[in-house]
Amino acid sequence: MSQSTWFTEAHAASGSSIGFRVEARLHAEKTPFQSIEIYRTTDWGNLMVIDGCIMLTGRDNFLYHEMMTHPALFAHAAPRNVAIIGGGDCGTLREVLKHAEVESAVQVEIDERVTRLAERYFPELCESNGDPRARLLFDDGIRYMRDRAPGSLDVVIVDSTDPVGPAEGLFNAAFYASCYRALREGGILVQQSESPVAHLELIRSMRGAMRAAGFPAIHTLPFPQPCYPTGWWSCTMARKGGPLEGFRERDAADKPFATRYYNVEIHRAALAQPEFMRESLRA
């Protein structure tokens, strides 16, 4: 490839596209579940693409991984047992295990090749895979949550791809009901919830399905994500009992680990809703 070659993902729903200048395609394969490609970019580190959709870059993945984990874990009083559904690149697992109070964290990824390629091309995301508290399970996350013992988890993080293909079943009331059952009282579910600009109807549908599953407190947190459609993304948190506005601010301020985006002020700011989201998600 020449330096003028670009990988571009067109997003028809928003009439936009996002692209990165690439130097080489490092890997390409079709697994039983999806197609995976790895590129070396000129400015954004390595790039992972699944079924033609950008999953992460080496340069900006910290935004997503930190916001998928730290708001939820600091909102929980004592997050000891955590399950990650999806998250095969292991970046979310790494952030979860920064919390010393976490006693166990299982990552349930349906496609083992995502993890093996992350270990090769994004080793910085996999540096906690050998932590004795971590368990890598390559299985169906829907079945895993369905089979969990009631009240056995404190936090469930759904780090999935878009709601198509292997991830389609992770965006409905039946799956959320299995998460609700598996969580202890006060437990938190958090799921990536796409772009507030381009996917607001999907967010509304997710929140409605979470309510139908029994979650009384739901909050959607927006954050920047340059490599995803519109450059603006979100995660949606739901708690089994109790509100979501409060969090362990002192612990977050005194966290003994480094972050690049998340801090107390970012957490507070993410709880504020832009006017268009407030109006649209008020139901």
Look up 159 and say whether it is catalytic. Answer: yes
In 3D, which of 154, 219, 161 has the Cα closest to residue 184?
154
In 3D, which of 118, 130, 108 has the Cα closest to residue 58?
118
Query: What is the number of other CB atoms lying within 10 angstroms of the CB of residue 30?
Result: 11
Query: Which of 140, 159, 162, 251 is labelled catalytic?
Result: 159
Output the CA–CA distances (angstroms, integers) from residue 219 to 70, 131, 134, 176, 206, in the order listed. 15, 31, 28, 15, 11
φ/ψ region of 52 (left if φ > 0, alpha if ψ in -120 to 50, else beta) reads left
Identify residue 28 by its one-letter amino acid code: A
Identify residue 56 by its one-letter amino acid code: L
Query: What is the number of other CB atoms lying within 10 angstroms of the CB of residue 164?
Result: 10
User: Is the Cβ–Cβ distance between 40 and 23 less than 8 Å?
Assistant: yes
Please, which residues have CB within 8 angstroms of residue 134's CB and are 6 or more apart in sequence? Answer: 93, 97, 105, 106, 107, 128
How many alpha carbons fall within 13 Å on the CB side of residue 132? 1
User: Is the Cβ–Cβ distance between 57 and 46 less than 8 Å?
Assistant: yes
Relative to beta strand 134-137, strand 183-192 is: unpaired
Identify residue 79 by its one-letter amino acid code: P
Please, which residues have CB within 8 angstroms of residue 94's CB and are 6 or more apart in sequence? Answer: 65, 125, 126, 127, 128
Known catalytic residues are: 159
